[in-house]
Amino acid sequence: MSRRVAVTGLGVVSAIGADQNTFWHNLSNGVCGIRHRTITADEDLSFELPIAAVEGIDDRLAGLGRDVARSDRFTKFAVLAADEAVADSGLEFDEALGARTATIIGTGIGGQSSLDEGYFNMLRKGRRPHPLTILRIIPNAPASHLAIRYGLRGPAFAISSACASGAHAIGVCADLIRSGAADAGLAGASEAALTFGGLEAWRAMHILSDDLCRPFSKNRKGLVIGEGAGVLVLEEYDRAVARGATIHAELVGFGMNADGKDMINPAVEGAAGAMQLAIDGLNINRPEAVYINAHGTGTLMNDPTETRAIREVFGAGANRLIVSSTKSMHGHLLGAAGGVETVAAILALEKNIIPPTINLDEFDPDCDLDYAPNEAHARPLEFAISNSFAFGGLNAVLAFRKPA
């Protein structure tokens, strides 16, 4: 028989808060973490771009211990978020639990800053790469560091599926617990790709905004890249109840599929299919009690496609939903998007407050749902859904319910 999955710990690092409380305060108050910055490689290589960078936490990152301090920025983010999630959960990983705990941390890019630094040192300065470059770059570095840090000996690996990485990691970890292959897990994703080389590659695609991220607004111009991490502690539900844990939410649905059509252009059928898989059997008869944290990238193609997919799944009930895109505040965290946005969705569910879609100032007839424009909405909630739709046509959707 399938086992239930509880969320007992939340940890987050983002441009609008590098801890759960700050993140929620800024998220619910519509604080924008996007700033114009000069991206510089050296004195003759620079450009300006709006980004959502994590700032003011260098001392915290340096204090994570010698091994982590020598790792890439995306690993440091993951460890910082995981430490918060573990402390929040109250879990203690003894010998027995350590052997039954999974560690699944996703990333879309991996150690981009270490990769950039290595190539720059070789090609511009004639220096050899740092001896730890490979260990910094590899996508499984956060999962491995966390397994070592907490003595976790269950399944441990990375998932890399572009912008669906975080949602895939959380959903797969939950499936391991449901099946009995694990009793607990650290799951989420991390990304730190705000480097000269990484952002030049994004600029080459011509899909970046030159001002703000404006999901679902007719004057939207594209993505704003952010960085950060979101990590959850998942547990077998009865075990969490037995130890008296505070349960933030129950993970009740996970849908994943592939469009099988195009590397860039999203498909309504794929997004709708993943959402339907996530909510099958949940008996959602009050759409007004459902919050959808949308993928909501602010691109011309994604936003109307996602809107149509939501309407296909919920029918007339879509008019009673509230949907929002928190990317308008913390930017698009690429592989970490699903991790951070899952934390946002769970906090919204827990607090009965739907964070706004800020910068939405022009109605688009192709985006005609209630997106909580510019102000948070208070509403009693029963379910929260987090959508993640990635390049390559990869879709992952998570559904959460308030604990019984």
Number of structural domains in the chain: 2
Q: Is residue 56 part of a domain?
A: yes
Q: How far apart are the C-alpha atoms of 85 and 23, rounded to whole Å?
A: 14
> Do 303 and 366 share a domain, yes or no?
yes
What is the predicted pLDDT for the residue at 1? 60
Of 145, 168, 248, 295, catalytic: 295
- Mean pLDDT, range 62-79, rounded to an integer: 97
The verdict on residue 248 lying in a domain is no
Catalytic residue among 145, 168, 330, 332: 332
> Residue 2: pLDDT band by 50, 70, 90 thresholds?
confident
Strands (DSSP E) contained in 259-314 are 290-293
Q: CATH code at 121? A: 3.40.47.10
Q: How confident is the model at residue 60 (pLDDT cuts 50, 70, 90)?
A: very high
Clarify whether residues 280 and 314 are in a common domain: yes
Let me know whether 201 and 269 are in one domain.
Answer: no
Which residue in this structure is represented by tokens 């999203």? 266
pTM of the model: 0.98
Q: What is the pLDDT of residues 216-246, one digit of tens each?
A: 999 999 999 999 999 999 999 999 999 999 9
Give the contacts of 33 (CB within 8 A, at least 6 positions apart).
14, 15, 16, 26, 52, 53, 226, 329, 330, 331
- Nearest of 259, 242, 329 to residue 301 by alpha carbon: 259
CA distance 391 to 337: 13
Tell me the average pLDDT of the chain.
Answer: 97
Q: pLDDT tens digits, residue range 195-219? A: 999 999 999 999 999 999 999 999 9
Catalytic status, residue 163? yes
Q: For the residues 385-396, what does the mean pLDDT come to?
A: 98
Catalytic residue (choose from 32, 145, 163, 248): 163
Per the domain annotation, does 247 fall within a domain? Answer: no
Q: At 351, give phi and psi (nearest 5°).
A: -100, -5
pLDDT category of residue 42 using cuts at 50, 70 and 90: confident
Same domain, residue pair 206 and 273: no
Which of 200, 221, 242 is the last residue before a domain boundary? Answer: 242
Shared domain check, 172 and 47: yes
Is 168 noted as a catalytic residue in this protein?
A: no
- Give the pairing type, strands 228-236 and 5-13: antiparallel
Cα–Cα distances in angstroms (integers) from residue 345 to residues 118, 301, 322, in the given order: 37, 23, 12
Instruction: pLDDT band for 43, please (50, 70, 90 cuts).
Output: confident
User: Same domain, yes or no, for 177 and 290?
Assistant: no
- Verify that 261 and 237 share a domain, yes or no: no
User: Which residues constitute the domain of residue 207?
Assistant: 5-242
Mark whether 377 is an active-site residue: no
User: Which residue stretches of 108-154 are H helix?
Assistant: 112-125, 133-137, 141-150
Q: Spell out the residues 6+ positions from residue 79 whose beta carbon is closer than 8 angstroms to its own.
A: 64, 68, 71, 142, 145, 146, 149
